[in-house]
Amino acid sequence: MQTLPHSVSKAVSIEDLRLIAKRRLPTCIFDFYDGGAEDEITLLSNIQRFREISLLPRILRSVHRIDTTRHLLGSEIKVPFAVAPTGALGFGRHGADLSLAKAAAEQGTIYTLSSSATTSIEQIARHAQGRQWFQAYILKDKDFFYKLIDRAYAADFEGLMITVDLPVGGKRERDNKNSFSIPFKLSPSVALDFLSKPAFLSSLLSKGMPVLENMVGLEGETRSVNHIASSVGRNYDASFNWDDLKRVRDYWHRKLIVKGVLHPSDAIRLIELGVDAVVVSNHGGRQLDTAVATLDALPGVVKAVDKRIAVLMDGGIRRGSDIFKAIALGADAVLTGRATLFGAISGGDSGALHAMNILKEELVRTMQLSGVTELAEISKDFLFLKQGLV
């Protein structure tokens, strides 16, 4: 594991890591990771809803030993959070995908590789240990789509995650205002932005432009960065439906997780289709703005599922207390997207692990101060819910 950079070692919160990433990256790249769709109402609501729920602790309980393990989809994870799929991380720091995968393995949890990662399925399997899932976007080119699934199977990924809330891309206005795109188009404003961060630019020039490794060959046999990156968005399949998902279920014989569920009725139908878990998610506020915050959608999905399959959630996780609240509202575990992304981009391998350690330590402290010793004890009884919030 790398030595933790001094600035990162001083970070005591996920927000500290976010600000380090902001100082390190050109504005257009930071905003690509940090931003959401349109007015960013859903992005902000995901975070704010956690802040609006207060904890109601119990006292005089022995809390000197805390157990954060959770049985999830067949085996144990040591913490109730896994790494969400996050694409194009290599544009923020070379090797960031692998940093997250290695940190997740060291933390004893699951890493999810995005279709649009800058590290290939095979590289992750070869260089990182631990439990791994592969996230697949729905592509028009079904031969290519199923070849990705075959590669994940051959690489022994235990789970396949299908993201269903991206039939088309969201309107991300920060990217528009920054003239940002992948691949980079060096307009005068983008060039000045890059020049303002000489250390970042030097690293990019010395190590070369990252490639969306899993998308090589999507439109012909080429490794052109421009061609690969621009072809991905054109290839989302807006016609993908329940019958198509059933074909995926029949094809993939390991754990199947569906991400992007907000409506209870959809969760029930997914159970009937035979999925193993759902992720309550609004894509981190990057798709449909004004969509319901995931913490608000979680209880309805949990009630509909009624313990028949696992329920995970993502969106807005910035503190260990957020994880506690999600579990109290019925989540089996959460996925961390930006929270761990900022760690990897700020400090590579050690930064990714530092982010996870921050979340784990905060969760343990929250459990101790709330009077619980294991995750199974966490319930709504430890939440003070104002009328109309949940």
Q: Please confirm, yes or no, whether 283 is among the known catalytic residues.
A: yes
Cβ-contact 179, 190 below 8 angstroms = yes
- State the Cα angle at 227 between 102 and 345, rounded to 5°: 30
* CA nearest neighbour of 276 among 290, 289, 259: 259
* Helix or strand run (H / E) with residue 347: helix 338-370
Contacts of 18 (CB under 8 A, 6+ apart): 34, 338, 342
41 close to 35: Cβ distance less than 8 angstroms:
no
Cα–Cα distances in angstroms (integers) from residue 157 to residues 70, 129, 147, 355, in the given order: 20, 11, 14, 24
Angle of CA points 298, 131, 213, to nearest 5°: 95
CB atoms within 10 A of CB 74: 12
Q: Which residues contact 3 (CB under 8 A, 6 or more apart)?
A: 350
From 64, 71, 94, 283, the catalytic residue: 283
Report the alpha-carbon distance of residue 66 to residue 376 in Å, rounded. Answer: 12
Residue 52 token pair: 């609006």
Cα separation of 262 and 278, whole Å?
A: 10
Residue bearing tokens 């000489």? 198
CA distance 104 to 250: 29
- Alpha carbons within 13 angstroms on the beta-carbon side of residue 145 total 21
Q: Are 160 and 255 in contact (CB under 8 A)?
A: yes
CB 333 within 8 A of CB 339: no
Catalytic residues, which ones? Answer: 283
